[in-house]
Structure 1
Amino acid sequence: MEKFILSIITLLTLFAVVGCSGAPDRTLYEAEAVMTEHPDSALALLRSLNLGEIRGKSSRALYALLFTQAQFKNYLDVDNDSLITEAVDYYEDGPDHFRSMLASYYYGRVRLNKGDYANAIFAFYNAYELADAVGDSFWRGMIAERICEIYEKTFNYTEMIKFAKIEYTNFKEHGNPLYIHDGMLDLASAYHYDLKYDSAIIVCRQLLDSALMRGDRELEEDARRNMALSYFGWGKYDSAAVIYKYICETDYTLPSDSAYLGLIYLRNNMVSKAKSIIPQSTCTNNVGTWMKYNILLSLGNRDSALTVLQDIMTEHEKRDRELIRYNLSGALMDYHAYKLALEHERSRFSKAMLWLAVFVTVMIIIVGAYFSYRHIRRQRLQIEKNIMLADNLREMLETKDENHNRMILDLLGDRFAMLDDFCRVMYEKGNSVQAKKNVSKVVESLIGQFSQDKNKISELATYVDAHYENIMSKFNADFPNLMENDYLLFLYSIYGFSTSAIALFLGLDNVTGVYDRRKRLKNKIKASDSGNRQIYLAILDKRR
């Protein structure tokens, strides 16, 4: 009886507040009331408001929160944080922890959409702490799900497992089966990414049992697909193949399913079956591309396979560059986590900030010193490489081929006299640092000309044709479809440049790339029907 009377009083109080408020405030409260069950209606109500009539900081903050929330609940992409920031600032230090939690959560969602993982995870950590304070298991699960997503995107699978477990535990406590299943799928994925395939399969089996019991076909196929992927990663291809065959015969199949099945056939040396999969698979991600590469390789079509492999390597390089950027974000995550911890120590805030400033200063000095050391070391290595090239140029002029020597001197021009003087001073003064730097500057100028100046490169080719019976023009005519670096390798080889020098001209970090390219070029020449094959091969066989 007392609870009933208390409920009546609460409702009357709410109606009184709404009644005393203006029309915009009433609309805000109505939108908030229907947000969970009817987010489309909530968005329509909010859009009906005249923003100029929304008065007061509290009303504007509530509108900012509800409108952002309604957009996300209606699956609209939001990447502008100016509106939600107003709600975050208003609720941050106020007594309404629930709305503060929501504001921080949706601010994190906006930052996540922008790819700003550092600020997103800071907002989610803050929101999680507030959800924990109000004892809301549903929102703890929702926030953990987003933190889990960030750790997946940044390849931090150990932390992903941690928050996937938190997500699953809280959704289980909340009791809604749909969210429980989402938590289980995230946990299975986290185990898979962290190479804990046996644990991933156990979770998938539990999820599959639940899906079969509920008659949820979509969930069933998700569970099977995740299980098959873990079997594949574990190397248990026969078990994976059974599941992929089943999925490929359903209406829920995805392009990646047939692609993985094709890869399994290739792993089992069943090339004909793998080839039969290609017309069925429209998978354009790495899985489909890798299957295509393996099939081309099995059929002996190495050129096409190499082209596909280059596409795969390009995608991997792109992912690695992203990974480097994410690692930087990871450092910011640690800083923001530390900053969040400071909020619990308000009484010692000033002292903690002082120590933090000292730490950051020391880190800046250490990082600065480290990068300075690396820069100086790279400079020294580059100088040594340039000195080797200078020695190579001097050795080239010591040959008895007067025609060759005259050609080199004409090309180097005044730079050779300068280079020769610097080299003489360097050796007379015991390889002094300044002399080495002078030699290196001249060599870098030559490298720039011989590798980037198209006019100089054309001039090099013209000199070769003039002195060696149009050898470069003949080579271009015999092999019109080579890569630019192949022509440059052949051109530099005619001049007698060393492998180290050619590596510098081609912008390679080491000579291995030159050796590999020379080998491939020789193979192409040997396979050709050119009458000048032996001449070309003799040029490439020069060793310095």
Structure 2
Amino acid sequence: MKTRCCCSKRYLLVFSILLVSVGSIFMSVSLSSCSSPSVKNQLLLCADSLMETYPDSALSILESITYPQKMPRADRALYALLLTQARHKNYIALEDDSLIKTAVDYYGDKKKSLRAAKAHYYWGAIYSEKGYASFAVEEYLTAIRLMPVRNEFLAMIYDNLAECYEEDRLYNVAIENYRAAYQILKGKDEQTYPMRGIARVFLLQNEKDSALYYYQQALDCALADQDSSLIGALYHDLAMVYSEKKDYIQADKFVSKAILLQGQDAINTCLSKAQIMLNLNKLDSASYFFSKNMDELDIYGKAVCYDGMYQIAKRKGEWKTATENMDAYKILYDSMQIMTDNEELNRLMDKHQLEEHKRLLSEHTRTLIFSLITAFSSLMIICVFCFMWNDRKRKKHYIALQHELTQKRVDTMLLKEEELSESNKEHIDKKRSELTEQQIQLCISVLKTTDCYDQLEALERATPKQLLVMRSLRKEIRSDISNAFVDVMMNLKERYPALTGDDVFFCVLSLLCCSKTVVMELMDATSDALKTRKNRIKNKMDAQIFERVFGVDNQ
């Protein structure tokens, strides 16, 4: 009755998983026809939520998505990551890394995030499956660096990293990583796996007592968790340790327990049992276990069986049977040697291709960097050239203006001499007005070539608070304006001696069309004071000149 109830529950669980898969597929097909990008997002999130508990359902959902290449870049990256993860969890060989590289390129290797860590972990898993331990180690280390939290996934990365170091015979480093995984999983059901790894590395180092201790600790944890498959595997492991210690009676005790627990899955365990029986000189039992599952073994297992049966026949004195088994063993050994050579050749070729790809990528990166440096240097040279050319042009313009100003001074002096000799005052006044106007324009042009003009514009735009900050520049600005308008100021002073220095400077600021605020700031005067000064100036100069100087202000 209890067995029937358990079966019913199992069927119910399988039926519910099938319903989820079919429902997800139907949802994908029906909603993807609407071409809504948010629907695909929901499917990805649904697959992500099912990944740990029902990876087969997650795989069904992901494989039902049509045209993933049309997804937005973020969704496409998540799709690539989840599909690789689902295939890995469903024990589907990961032969190509082009899919996971989409996720790796998107999530990068700079900012910590769980998805970035997973992308690099599964890239490392692909390398590991292909036998490229060094490349796998590099990606696992990147995944560890990118992990934002210490959880079971980080422990899994450490565990896989330890296996890579174990394959490279870096046993001390492997144990360190197994211990790191154990520290994260300590007190949890999964703690048995890193403990088993530590025991295996100690056994590889021929430290049998340490291996026996850790295998026993792992077995105690598995017994507490009632994990029958893991208990059977650990019984087998303990049998191997005792066999290495040549305690074949204890080895037989544990291997027998393993066979009872593993049942039909005990193919390799039966092979170990046969070896132990052979060492105990129980030849009939050894012969039985060697031949029991021979058809289900791979080429390596069959070779061990034929070698073992050769040893049995040799001890029994059955030379014909021994010869037949040795011949079968040699045929298998030759085939194994060819396979090993081919695998090594393929591994070397793949490694060469990877190294060549990395070399080309490195050359491309160097070329790109060199191109960028060249382009930047060229741009800098062009900028410097443009700056120098513009500066030279500005200086030439400034010199030309100075020459014109000098010429106007000469013209003014000649006009004074002409004024003494000629009686046509109207003609002289007209000529003087023209010279004055030309001087004013030239002085304005000279000022525009200096930094003072930019400072004046900044004063025009400044807020009251900024005006307070710029008040320290007042003396410098006044000096620059006076130097630029020295000819205009001298002419005004000569023609109207009653004008003071501040009066003349006020006239220059008016000619520059400075705002009332700027004039008040540069002259350090109030609005009423400026009005009074303007009235005084009006009484000191001709109406025509006054109109020219303050005409803009009057408007």
The normalised TM-score by structure 2 is 0.49
